[in-house]
Amino acid sequence: MTSLIHREGDIWNTHARAIGQGVNLRGVMGAGIALQFKTRFPAMYEEYRTLCRGNRFPPGEVHIWDVPPVQEGEPQRFIFNIATQVEPGANASLKNP
């Protein structure tokens, strides 16, 4: 069974096999950590944006991106883009609207 681990620090230096981030349903990664994901993984961003524009990424779904290994023999890593909010911005919440 996989467990969720919360850590603090530089997300880009983690040895975790997966990194998750909350994203909106409009296909926008324009600020904060989302913009860093977009910059580091442009192909991932384009796939996510295409899903959003085609209305194929509903709330609560997860877009899984296989991160290409930097060096041969590295373990497979993933990015989980989790559809947590409809609109872009700092409006994600654990509470129901």
The reported pLDDT for the residue numbered 6 is: 74
Q: What is the dihedral of CA 44, 53, 56, 4, to 10 degrees?
A: 40
- Reply yes or no on whether the pLDDT at 19 is more than 50: yes
* pTM of the predicted protein model: 0.84
pLDDT in tens, 28-42: 999 999 999 999 999
Rounded to a whole number, what is the largest CA-CA distance in the chain? 46
Whether the CA torsion 42, 44, 50, 53 is positive or negative: it is: negative
Question: Distance between CA atoms of 83 and 11, rounded to whole angstroms?
Answer: 19
How far apart CA 52 and CA 63 sit, in angstroms, is 10
User: Which residue carries 């983690």 as its tokens?
Assistant: 14
